[in-house]
Structure 1
Amino acid sequence: MASTDSRLAFVPGPRLLGWVERFAASHGAVAQEELDAGLQLRAADGAVALLQPPWKVDGRPGRGGDAVARLASLASQPRCLGAVLIRRGGYSVAVVNGGAVLASKTGTRHVQSRTAAGGWSQQRFARRRANQADALVEAVAEHAGRIFAEHRIEYVAPGGDRTLSELVLAEPVLKRYAALERLPFLDVPDPRAAVLKKAAADLCSVRILVTDPPA
C-alpha cells in the first residue's frame, strides 16, 4: 500500500514566493486552487501543499496579483497579537507584531504529572495537582492581562497545552479579549525564551502543510 508523509512549515510573507518557486522546482509544475481551508498547490509528481494565512482577510488593503502574491501580502501586514503559550512546565505570554515580541513574561511553575497510584494517596495527589494547575492558570492570566492592556490587541493566539490555554483565556481578567478572533492553535514545547521567539515568527507566517507524493 502506498504511503504518504506530511510535514508542517511556517514561511514569512516576504519569503513565500521563493518557497513556492522551490516547491515547483522540486516537484514539477504546480496547479493552484483556492479552497475554504486555504490555497492548495498540487504538483506534477503528486505532492500537495496547503497554504493557510496567519489571519483572515479583514478589509485592509494589500497587493494584488495571483493567489500566492495576495497571500504573501496578507501575511506581510502587521497585526498585534496576544499570545498565550502554556504547558505544565512553564508559560509565556506576549504581545507580538510583525513576527517580533514587543512585550512578554516567561516563567516556570511546575504542575505534577498524573500518577497511577490508587486509593487515598491518589485522591490527595489529584487535589494537589488540580490546585497547582489552578494556580498556574490564574497567574498566567494575570500576567497576560497586565501585558495585553498596554497594547491594542487584534487577535488572540493560544498554544502549548490546549486545555490549559483555554482555561487561561476563560479567566475573568481576560474577559475583554474573549470576543477577539483566535488564531489557529500553535503546538509548542515548554515555553522558554527561544521557544517564544520562534513562536512569534510562526504566528505571523503562512502555515504550510506539505504532503509528499505516495512512495
Structure 2
Amino acid sequence: MSDSTLEDLGITPGQQFNRSELDNLLTRVNCGSNQLVSSLYLKPGDQSEFMSGRDSSKLPWIERLATLDRKILESETGLIGLSNGDHALVVLPPFPLTNSELFDTWNLQPLHDLLDRPYKVGVVLLRLGRFAVAVYEGDQLISSKTDTRYVKGRHAAGGTSQKRYSRIREGQIKLIYEKTCQAIKDQFTPHLGNIQFVLLGGEKFTLNGLVKKCPALVGLENITLSRRLNVRNPKRDTLESVAVSLKESRLYPII
C-alpha cells in the first residue's frame, strides 16, 4: 500500500473507524523527514485550559483546534491530534484518555495503549420488541441475555379504538422496559465495581424511556458514555460484531 498525506486520505468529518480500519489508515501516512509532525493528547476536561494557553509550542494546535465545532473540543473522551506538515487530523477515541501530552513526533503509542486496554464494558441494546444486554472484557463477550417481546405498531385511527390500542401498546412498552431492566440487573450485578463503562444502542426515544425508568441504569450514569452504538437488530448474533464497534473512533480532518 502506498504512503499518503493526511490530505490524501479522504476522510469525511465525523467518520467512524474501528480499530483495524484506524490502524490501516494511520499507517498509510507518510511522515517524511521534511515534514513538521506533532501529536497531541488531551484528556477530558483539559481541552478548555489548553485552548486558553499562550505557550508558543501549543499555538499551532490552538489555531487548528479553534476551527472545530465546540462539541468536538468538549468530547467526553478527550481528543487526539495528529499533524503532518500543514494538515492535521483529530481523533475522538472510544474511551477517555487518562493523560494529556504534546509530542514533537508522530506518536501513536498512547492511542494504541488505550485501544489495547481490556476494558470491561456493559452494553444495552434496545428496540421496541427486542433487547440484548451484554458484558464484554476487551474483545471477549463474557455474559449476555437477549429476548423478544411483541410491541404493537402505532395506530393512526381515532376514537375509542385508538385509545384502547394505545393502552395495549403502552402496556407492552412497559413490559419490555421491565424485562430489559431486569436483564441489566442480572447481567451487570456480578460485575459491579469492575464494569468501567456502559454503552447503549438502539432507538433513541426507546432508550431515553428506558434510562428514565430503569433504576439499574440510573445508578450507572457516571460511567455511561453518551455515544450510541448503531445496532439495527439486537440479538445474540449481533453481539459478536458489537465487540468491534466498542472501539470505534470518530475522525475529523483539519485541512
Asked if Structure 1 and Structure 2 have the same fold, meaning a TM-score greater than 0.5 normalized by the shorter chain, the answer is yes
Match of 1:130 among 133, 149, 170: 170
Shift of 1:118: 1.6
Map Cα deviations across residues 60-87 of structure 1 (whole Å, 9 max, x no partner): xxxxx74533222212111111111100
Q: Distance in 1 between matches of 2:36 and 2:159?
A: 60
The answer to whether the 8 Å contact 1:156/1:180 transfers is yes
**1:172 to 1:194, Cα distance in 2 relative to 1, 3 A:** same
Q: Distance in 1 between matches of 2:141 and 2:235?
A: 13
**1:43 to 1:162, Cα distance in 2 relative to 1, 3 A:** farther
Matched residue type, 1:194 = D
The answer to whether the 8 Å contact 2:38/2:106 transfers is no
Aligned to 1:21: 27
Map Cα deviations across residues 140-193 of structure 1 (whole Å, 9 max, x no partner): 010111110111211110111122223333312444323324251112102122
| RMSD, matched Cα | 3.3
Aligned to 2:221: 178
Larger radius of gyration: 2
The answer to whether the 8 Å contact 2:37/2:83 transfers is yes
The answer to whether the 8 Å contact 1:40/1:51 transfers is yes
Q: How many residues align?
A: 198
Indicate whether 1:81 and 2:87 are aligned: no
**Any gaps of 5 or more consecutive residues in structure 2?**
1-10, 41-64, 66-72, 100-104
Match of 1:114 among 149, 154, 174: 154
Shift of 1:130: 1.3
TM-score under structure 2 length normalisation: 0.65
Q: Distance in 1 between matches of 2:130 and 2:36?
A: 42
**Any gaps of 5 or more consecutive residues in structure 1?**
60-64
Q: Distance in 2 between matches of 1:163 and 1:175?
A: 16
**1:108 to 1:33, Cα distance in 2 relative to 1, 3 A:** same
Shift of 1:15: 6.4
**1:30 to 1:73, Cα distance in 2 relative to 1, 3 A:** farther
Matched residue type, 1:9 = Q
**1:173 to 1:6, Cα distance in 2 relative to 1, 3 A:** closer
Shift of 1:41: 6.0
Q: Identity of counterpart residues, as a percentage?
A: 27
Question: Relative contact order: is structure 1 or structure 2 higher (C-alpha 8 Å, sep ≥ 6)?
Answer: 1
**1:42 to 1:58, Cα distance in 2 relative to 1, 3 A:** closer
Indicate whether 1:9 and 2:16 are aligned: yes
